[in-house]
C-alpha cells in the first residue's frame, strides 16, 4: 500500500486549486449552465489558443482558465492511476461539478 495514501492528499490539493481558480473566474460550481460552458471551452479546439497565449497573456482570466484546464487533466490522471491501483479517490464539490460537466460535454460530441 506504499504510495496509496498520497492520492487523497493530491486530490485535496487539486480541489483547493480548482476552487481558487473558480473564484478568480467567478465560477459558481453549482451553476450547471456556467460550468458546462466552461467544460465546452475546455474541450473545444480553442483550447490550443488559450494554452498557447496564456503564457504571454496579461489577462489573468486567460491564465486562470489555462491553469484550470491543466489541473483537470492532472485530476483525471490521478484518478485513473489510483483506480489502476485499486484505490478509490475523488475530488470535492468543485471537481465533481467540473468533472461531471466535462463528461457530459464530451459525450455530446
Give the pLDDT confidence of 4-39 residue by residue, as tens digits. 568 889 999 999 999 999 999 999 999 999 999 999
> Residue 59 burial by CB count (10 A; 0-12/13-18/19+): exposed, middle or buried?
exposed
C-alpha distances out from residue 64 to 5, 22, 25, 103, 109, Å? 29, 8, 7, 21, 25
pTM of the model: 0.84
Task: For residue 45, name the pLDDT band (cuts at 50, 70, 90).
Answer: confident
H-type helices in the chain, by residue range?
6-25, 32-43, 47-54, 60-84, 93-108
Amino acid at each position: 500500500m506504499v504510495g496509496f495514501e498520497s492520492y487523497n492528499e493530491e486530490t485535496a490539493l487539486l480541489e483547493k486549486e480548482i476552487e481558487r481558480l473558480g473564484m478568480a473566474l467567478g465560477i459558481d460550481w453549482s451553476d450547471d449552465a456556467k460550468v458546462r460552458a466552461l467544460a465546452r471551452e475546455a474541450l473545444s479546439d480553442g483550447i490550443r489558443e488559450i494554452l498557447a497565449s496564456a503564457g504571454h497573456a496579461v489577462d489573468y482570466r486567460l491564465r486562470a482558465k489555462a491553469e484550470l484546464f491543466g489541473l483537470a487533466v492532472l485530476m483525471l490522471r490521478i484518478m485513473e492511476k489510483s483506480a489502476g491501483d485499486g484505490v478509490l479517490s475523488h475530488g470535492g464539490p468543485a471537481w465533481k461539478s467540473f468533472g461531471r460537466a466535462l463528461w457530459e460535454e464530451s459525450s455530446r460530441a
